[in-house]
Structure 1
Amino acid sequence: MLVVSCMRRAGYTAFSGDGLQAARAPDNATALPAGAWGYLGAEAAGVQGFHPPQRSLPRPTGPAAGSGEAYDTTRVDCDRQAAERIGAPPGPGTELVGRLFNESLAAAGRDHRVIAATGQWSACMAAAGFAAADPATLPDRFRAAPAVTPTELATARADADCTGRSNLAGIWFAVLAGYQQQQIDRNAQALTAQQEAVRAQDAKLAQLMAETGNGP
């Protein structure tokens, strides 16, 4: 919105974002293909297999916004101004959150409860005729294909069924939450500071939206 407002102030009144508008999220964001926890959602498994939900970007409408060196220079300058006004939470805090999250994933993957549940899932898949060591390996088998195949749908349906039978998702997320709570307790001061920084940025973004006339 800041870039659009800047470009229009510069005289490019037909500028509408050139693909800046984000695609709409799927109705059920948890109906994504399998991860380390197994497939979530039997209904989605039977329709999309291991392919992501179909999403489309809005197509630009109306006349072209502009072209040429002056247009490109203005666009770069507007992008810079928008980035400066938006800013970001402090880098160290963001890096800490990312590092802790990755460490929690690794710890959950090594946990004996997750290993046992994954073994039950694998045995269930083998009994259904689909050999697999863990759910994370399944998407790679099928995502390269341009379209969903009957074999992919059958495998995904088995994955969803075995995920439920083994309670792999429930165990995986409970174990992950446990490790993450330990991390929160050990890094409470730094994480609280990061939380406050993110809230401040949210308030800043809301103010910027209101100033451009696009507030909620």
Structure 2
Amino acid sequence: MPAPTAEARDIVFPFDSYELPDDDIIKTYAATDALVRPCMREKGHEWGLIKTPENAPSWRNRLHFGVVEPDVARRFGYHAPAELLSSPEYRGVVRQMNGRLASLSKDAASHAADCQKEAGQTLTRGAKTSFAKLNDLKSSTFDAAKRDHNVKDATNRWSACMKAAGFDYTTPWAAARKWGAKGDPTKREIATAVSDVRCKKKTGIVAIWFSTEKRLEEKEISKDESYFNNLKNANAHYLHNARMALSKE
């Protein structure tokens, strides 16, 4: 996977601070292993520990505004793979976990599921909260930003830029929907995506949309500080439980 550009790495929203970054998620995977290993031994199975990197960057919003990187557009068109959203370090951990699971016998896999469930209960003790509202707010602020007059003006400029290049689309998401079906990207799709990225840069639509959506998210946070504080506290408890599990390994 091509490494993200600075522009893609810098797409960080206020809501992001209320979810664990990939580096912390890897710590919870390791903590789960620390709890599962003795549980599996009691059931007569070995449980190999995954190797975790010292640092795993997060760039989950890389495709938030569609394709914004020329190299991604040239290679994938609008068929950008999900692997673009995580670092090689994180993907390496997931590969190890999937490989370990695939190597288990049916009996061992069943016992592992029981041990992982027990470990999950330990790690989430005092850390349970609902992220459903956060997910809903992500969707609503994303849609509201698209309706903002500044974003609409930038979208119209993007559309005019695309038309001048020979592509007739009213919005970037309309172009992505047309070409987003399964299958390999065609030459026409790649040409469209490349022009899409050029026009996004020329019109500044990503920066305008980004600042608008950030403002909307900040407004939602200020409206319900209690809910967002609960999210932060839940994450803090979860990581505390993970550190305690790791300290006993």
* TM bin (shorter chain): 0.7 to 0.9
Give distance in 2, aligned partners of 1:26 and 1:129. Answer: 38
Name the residue aligned to 1:67.
Answer: 106
Q: Is 2:81 aligned against 1:44?
A: no
Query: Are 1:12 and 1:65, in contact at CA under 8 Å, matched by a contact in 2?
Result: no
Query: Are 2:142 and 2:213, in contact at CA under 8 Å, matched by a contact in 1?
Result: yes
- Describe the SS at the equivalent of 1:124: helix
Name the residue aligned to 2:137.
Answer: 100
- Structure 1 segments unaligned to the other structure (5+ residues): none
Query: Are 1:16 and 1:60, in contact at CA under 8 Å, matched by a contact in 2?
Result: no
Query: How much has 1:38 moved relative to structure 2?
Result: 4.8
Give distance in 2, aligned partners of 1:49 and 1:156. Answer: 5
Give distance in 2, aligned partners of 1:49 and 1:134. Answer: 16
Name the residue aligned to 1:204.
Answer: 241
* Residue type at the aligned position of 2:106: S
* Residue type at the aligned position of 2:203: S
Give distance in 2, aligned partners of 1:144 and 1:38. Answer: 14
* Residue type at the aligned position of 2:99: P
Distance 1:160 1:12, change over 3 A: same
| 1:1-216 alignment, distance < 5 Å | 1=30, 2=32, 5=37, 6-13=39-46, 15-16=47-48, 31-32=62-63, 35=64, 37-53=65-81, 55=83, 57=95, 60=99, 64-68=103-107, 71-87=108-124, 89-92=127-130, 94-212=131-249
Which string of whole-angstrom CA distances, capped at 9 and with x for unpartnered residues, describes residues 80-114 of structure 1?
Answer: 2122122274434x233223323322221211111
Query: Are 1:122 and 1:132, in contact at CA under 8 Å, matched by a contact in 2?
Result: yes
Query: Are 1:125 and 1:159, in contact at CA under 8 Å, matched by a contact in 2?
Result: yes
Which string of whole-angstrom CA distances, capped at 9 and with x for unpartnered residues, describes residues 96-139 of structure 1?
Answer: 32233233222212111111111111111111111112112233
Give distance in 1, aligned partners of 2:43 and 2:194. Answer: 54
Query: Are 2:124 and 2:241, in contact at CA under 8 Å, matched by a contact in 1?
Result: no
Query: How much has 1:44 moved relative to structure 2?
Result: 1.8
RMSD: 3.1
Query: Are 2:129 and 2:234, in contact at CA under 8 Å, matched by a contact in 1?
Result: no
* Residue type at the aligned position of 1:133: T
Query: How much has 1:172 moved relative to structure 2?
Result: 0.2
Give distance in 2, aligned partners of 1:7 and 1:144. Answer: 43
Give distance in 1, aligned partners of 2:61 and 2:132. Answer: 25
- Describe the SS at the equivalent of 1:91: coil
Distance 1:81 1:27, change over 3 A: closer
Query: Are 1:121 and 1:168, in contact at CA under 8 Å, matched by a contact in 2?
Result: yes
Query: Are 1:26 and 1:53, in contact at CA under 8 Å, matched by a contact in 2?
Result: no
- Describe the SS at the equivalent of 2:184: coil
* Residue type at the aligned position of 2:43: A
Query: Are 1:125 and 1:158, in contact at CA under 8 Å, matched by a contact in 2?
Result: yes
Using the TM superposition, name which of 96-105 and 106-115 deviates more: 96-105
* Percentage of pairs with the same residue: 24
Query: Are 1:38 and 1:163, in contact at CA under 8 Å, matched by a contact in 2?
Result: no
Query: How much has 1:28 moved relative to structure 2?
Result: 6.5
* Structure label with greater radius of gyration: 1
- Equivalent residues, number: 199
Give distance in 2, aligned partners of 1:79 and 1:30. Answer: 29
Give distance in 2, aligned partners of 1:163 and 1:205. Answer: 42
* Residue type at the aligned position of 1:119: N
